[in-house]
A and B are shown apart, each in its own frame.
Chain A
Amino acid sequence: MVYITEAHPSDVWQMQSNVRDSVVFASPKSEDERASLARMCVRNLHIDFPAVIDEFGNSTERAFTGWPDRIYLIDAEGRVAYKSRPGPFGFKPEELEAALRKVGF
């Protein structure tokens, strides 16, 4: 997982669903705050695969147009084998599953 800029921080675009789920956080103001929130995200959502934090300038998010969420499959030659539509509408794990089958998983 690449942890990127928060989608709905309380100080920018608060969602009622986040209030309901008690996931209310303001935008991190430093690398430390971002790392702290990323750790909380990984722990509370039980993400058990390797997770990295995009740097504060969001260079990786911009390179992949990853915000607010998106899935990619990069093949063994380093080329894009699957790219989801931008989330939240295009975030479809079942499409990734089909793409993985195509590359032999």
Chain B
Amino acid sequence: MDRIGIAQQSPANHDVKVYYNFAIAELLVREKRGDVPSHRRWGKVLLVVIAGMAVTYVSLGGYLWWAMHQPPEIFAGAVARMPQPVVFLLYPFETLWTHARAGGLNLGDRAPDFSLLKVDRSERIQFSALNLHKPVVLVFGSYT
């Protein structure tokens, strides 16, 4: 209010100073009410928004990483509930997937044996018998 008083008492450029006086007064009142955020307030708002986005990004990424280490049906269900294009665009999906699904088998390791029915269920195949003295290609996959 001191600034208003000083402006009103000044004889020179009276009209301009009165206008200035009213403008300042209005700003002070509005700022007091919280109508006009100061630069500092906007800075804080921006900081909160950025922090919120960072927390969301890290949380969603952590969830994605966790899901990639779960059994296929849990991972698929989790990803299906995520905002699809966003997940694939915002995160290095392929890199994360490659690491998460690296698996424990390495080159040179002995392949685990298994015994499974043929698709037509006509007979059971023992992998070690099939692999006896000849290389075998294993292609894992499904229809969808």
Residues of A within 8 A of B (CB): 1-10, 12-15, 18, 23-25, 27, 35, 37-42, 44-45, 50-55, 58-76, 78-83, 85-87, 89-90, 96, 100, 103, 105
How many B residues touch the partner, as a band?
A: 35 or more
Cα–Cα, bound, A67→B142 (Å): 9
Within 8 A of A (CB), among B70-86: 71-73, 76-77, 79-80
Is the pair A60, B116 in contact by a Cβ cutoff of 8 Å? yes
State whether B119 touches A35 (Cβ < 8 A).
Answer: yes
Q: Is the CB of A51 within 8 A of B144?
A: no
Given A1-B141, A12-B73, A53-B119, A79 contacting B125 (CB threshold 8 A): no
Nearest first, the 4 closest Cβ-Cβ pairs linking A and B are A65-B103, A66-B140, A86-B101, A41-B143
B residues with CB within 8 A of A: 71-73, 76-77, 79-80, 94, 97-98, 101-112, 114, 116-121, 125, 128, 131, 133-144
Contact of A78 among B111, B114, B144 (CB under 8 A): B111
Q: Are B141 and A79 in contact (CB under 8 A)?
A: no
The answer to whether B119 touches A69, judged by C-beta atoms less than 8 angstroms apart, is no
Whether A27 contacts B111 by the Cβ 8 Å rule is no
Q: CB distance A13 to B77 under 8 Å?
A: yes
| A-side contacts of B120, CB under 8 Å | 39
A5 touches B135 (CB 8 A): no
Nearest Cβ distance between residue B22 and chain A, in whole angstroms? 61
A44 to B143, CA, bound (A): 9
B98–A25 CB distance below 8 A: no
